[in-house]
Chains A and B, each alone.
Chain A
Amino acid sequence: EVQLVESGGGLVQPGGSLRLSCTASGFTFSSRVMYWVRQTPGKGPEWISAISNSGSDIYYTDSVKGRFTISRDNSKNTVFLQMNSLRADDTAKYYCAKIGVRDGFDTWGQGTMVTVSS
């Protein structure tokens, strides 16, 4: 079964840090671009970061550049999102995803909630 399982969310104070992990199974992880997408309650999803299959190409949306870092460990089938300098507007459910808009090989994790509050 193709599966993505996120972990690492929680409550953190403004200015704090969290590291999210997403472990994949059921597909050839090292051949796929991986994404992090977040969604604030009541709003639509927002793409925040992507990493190529080898990890050599990395992309971020403007609102997280310089604060978030995506990485992957293909030997452990895991993608990470290091989140620093967290702000209240980073509060959201964070999803790890293998996006299949072009080929239909689309899988999302269950999401992990990040709450930034004092």
Chain B
Amino acid sequence: AIQMTQFPSSLSASVGDRVTITCRASQGIGIYLGWYQQKPGRAPKQLIYAASNLQSGVPSRFSGSGSGTDFTLTINTLQPEDFATYYCLQDHSYLTFGGGTKVES
């Protein structure tokens, strides 16, 4: 099974900061990776699909990059509503979620 290692597991940031979250796959997954944001009590919400494509309606301060085994989610100019937990998800082979990154103030 493909393992997804996500780091950091948590980070402290302030409004206006640039935040970077990384996921590493245990084997190559091409670009079959998505990034999700989750707030307490809510279902995950897709931000990025196919590694670098911005989901419709998602602010352009979110961006994704990478292919193969290493992927990055960047949040430019962090906004108050961005404090949440973020997960990567691969679907190259079945589904595997990363362990999550909690972005807190």
Contact = CB atoms under 8 A, between A and B. Distances in A.
List the 7 shortest-distance A-B pairs measured between CB atoms, nearest first: A47-B95, A108-B43, A101-B34, A106-B46, A101-B91, A104-B49, A44-B100
A73 B92 CA distance: 26
Contacts, number: 60
Contacts of A106: 34, 46, 49, 55
A55 interface: no
A45 B44 contact: yes
Interface of A: 35, 37, 44-47, 50, 59, 61, 95, 97, 99-104, 106, 108-111
Interface in B47-86: 49-50, 53, 55-56
Interface of chain A, main secondary structure: loop
Tier of interface size on chain B = 20 to 34
Contacts of A45: 38, 44, 87, 89, 97
A63 to B, nearest CB: 12
Contacts of A95: 43
6 contacts: A44-B97, A45-B87, A99-B34, A101-B91, A103-B49, A104-B56
A47 B50 contact: no
Contacts of B90: 101
Interface of B: 32-34, 38, 43-46, 49-50, 53, 55-56, 87, 89-91, 94-100
A44 B34 CA distance: 15
B43 A102 contact: no
A46 B32 CA distance: 17
B55 A104 contact: yes
A3 B7 CA distance: 32
Given A101-B90, A106-B55, A47 B97 contact: yes
Given A37-B95, A47-B94, A101 B89 contact: yes
B36 to A, nearest CB: 8
Contact of A44 (B49, B91, B94, B99): B99
Contacts of A37: 95
A99 B94 CA distance: 11
